Amino acid sequence: MAKGHRSQIKRERNAKKDTRPSAKLSYARVSVQKACFVLDAIRGKDVETALGILEYNPRYASGIIKKLLESACANAEYLYGQDPTKYPNPENLYVAECYANKGPTMKRIRPRAQGRAYRIEKRMSHITIVLDER
């Protein structure tokens, strides 16, 4: 097969697995814009600081993201228990990457005056948190 063949490129890309502990929440009922306000506050912080920020943040998305961060920490502890030499120590973790991608939008109709209808878009997002060791 040629070096630039699509199947070979895919095979090489899929061979490089990201072994960092992570957690992903799909179809979260919060818009990407609102989730990113909270994600920007915790990006690059260590896990304890990030949990403290999320605990006292008044936004709705902070509750969802707090549970997701705790899930990523639990995944890190599980991986560390499997092979302590290969995976990061849970005490030294920080939020390496966190981002929200656009999910599907639910479209609803709101009745208005004189028989008109306005569209309401209830947006969803896919939120991902990746941890790494300092």
* Model confidence pLDDT, tens digit, residues 74-128: 998 888 877 777 777 777 899 999 999 999 999 999 999 999 999 999 999 999 9
pLDDT at 89: 74
Q: Which two tokens stand for residue 45?
A: 């912080």
The domain segmentation of the chain, as residue ranges, is: 22-133
Mean pLDDT of 38-42: 95
| CATH architecture for residues 22-133 | Alpha-Beta Complex (3.90)
pLDDT at 82: 78
Alpha helices in 5-133 (DSSP H): 6-15, 32-42, 47-55, 60-82
Contact 132, 96 (CB under 8 A): yes
Sheet with 93-111, strands from edge to edge, namely 22-28, 117-133, 93-111
Contact 127, 65 (CB under 8 A): yes
Q: What is the pTM (predicted TM-score) of this model?
A: 0.82
